[in-house]
A = this chain, B = another copy of it.
Amino acid sequence: MAKRIITISREFGSGGRFIGEETAKKLGISYYDKNMIGQIAEKSGLSPEYILEKAELSPRKGLFAYAFAGRDNTGKSVEDLVYEAQRKIILEIAEKEPCVIIGRNADYILKDRTDVINVFIHGSVEQKTKRICELYHVSEAEAKSMMAEIDKRRMTNYSFYTNQKWGKADNYTLSLDSSQLGYELCEKIIMECMK
């Protein structure tokens, strides 16, 4: 079956979001990332700011925080409500139009579709640190600490909701080292897989 949808999971600082955005432009298809937040807010009734913090990252205290999160009388935590709204939006988007979706466990959420390719973008610590320093105007030490925290929280969120290991090659159609290959070649390879 022809592929219509690209999900991009990525290590923080690997340029995965940039690669996804450029690929969407080149293919002339929609691009979903933070622009989903409004829709998730509407569906869940929670504020966009709250969702921005919660939608893709685990609580700062890690996996245990999920277990001990306050729950409503249906047994759902606020994290679960955000996740459920996000899941519905992603399923709707995929049904509606060809697109690139960044992060948010879209690879797992869309696992029953056959028109999706799942991409994981990773990179070397040196290159990722360099990029984070430039993008966020932080020191090398700060960049390394941001990288460690954000990837850990993405990983925890992913394993909590998918029971899969984030970054394991098996989960993705293709995994690319953007530091070794360069962003343009990554885009070219992804587009090759959509033909």
By the criterion CB–CB under 8 Å, are A172 and B173 in contact? no
A175 to B174, CA, bound (A): 5
List, in ascending order, chain B residues with CB within 8 A of A11's CB: 170
The reply to whether the CB of A48 lies closer than 8 angstroms to some CB of chain B is no
| Separation of A175 and B189 alpha carbons in the complex (Å) | 12
Partner of A173, one of B180, B192, B193: B180
User: How many chain A residues touch B (Cβ–Cβ < 8 Å)?
Assistant: 21
Chain B: CB-nearest residue to A3? B180
In-complex Cβ contact of A170 among B122, B173, B181, B188 (8 A): B122
A80 at the interface (CB under 8 A from B): no
Binding site for B on A (CB under 8 A): 11, 117, 120, 122, 167-170, 172-177, 180-181, 185, 188-189, 192-193
